Amino acid sequence: MTVEELSPKERLSIVERFLAYAEKNIRANYMKERGTPVFEGVAISQLIDDYVVELNKVNRRINVTQVIRTRNMRDHDWYIYDQAIVNGLESNLIDFVNDYVEALRDRYEEVYLIRNERKVKIVEIDGVRGFMPDFLLYLKDMDYTYQVFIEPKGGNLLVHDEWKQKFLLSLTTREDIEVLSENDQVRLIGLKFYTDDSTLKQEFREDFHKKLL
């Protein structure tokens, strides 16, 4: 049957079904922009301002023991803010970095840990899924500036967010990564998830050592 052979009622029904289909996909952002290996550099000055954590938007899947607390960071000049607003796992990550600050400073001229609160979003390469890593570790030596993405992850989200870890790890292994920045000597590094699982935490430690120390 050709279009000409359809009755007006049948043509109207087809148009209505198509519009319903289009509406559904538009609402779901069907035509999201796909990620590429080209990243736009973000100056560290753009990341530094006051920040808050909106408690009403905290993921409901977080264990109830992971209560958001304020932590005094005034005695840690490598942490950008005077206070850290973090849950228990994120606070443990800060302790981890604190244990390695002197080792990092032996190798790098500048070392800063930044809480990424709705500042930097990265989109998976050749995909449409994006996310904002919880922390950025800024490192600088004589040759390069490094932006290290660190994502603490509760055990209940490891499987669901596995694609994020694969994406982060690909930033170090792919040869086609390009960063558009005033300084062309910028390198992106993604680490394994930081978790409270002892085995996976050791894997994070080894990844941290291998890539940064």
Q: Domain limits of the chain?
A: 1-31, 34-212
> How far is the C-alpha of 112 from the C-alpha of 127, rounded, in Å?
30
pLDDT of residue 99: 97
Q: What is the pTM of this model?
A: 0.74
Q: What are phi and psi of 22, to 5 degrees?
A: -65, -45
Question: In this predicted structure, what is the pLDDT of residue 64?
Answer: 40
Going by DSSP bridges, is the β-strand pair 135-140/145-150 parallel, antiparallel, or unpaired?
A: antiparallel
- Weakly modelled stretches of the chain, pLDDT under 50: 31, 52, 54-65
Q: Which amino acid, 74?
A: R
Instruction: Give residue-wise pLDDT tens across range 64-95.
Output: 446 888 999 999 999 988 889 899 999 999 99
pLDDT of residue 109: 96
DSSP state string for 161-212: THHHHHHHHHHHH-S--EEESSSS-EEEEE-PPB-S-HHHHHHHHHHHHHHH
User: pLDDT at position 175, please?
Assistant: 79
CA 71 to mean position of chain CA atoms: 22
What per-residue confidence (pLDDT) applies to 17?
Answer: 79
Question: Who contacts 196 (Cβ-Cβ below 8 Å, separation ≥6)?
Answer: 89, 92, 154, 155
User: How does 37-64 read in b/e, with b if 16+ C-beta sit within 10 Å?
Assistant: eebeebeeeebeeebeeeeeeeeeebee
pLDDT at 174: 82
Output the pLDDT for position 208: 98
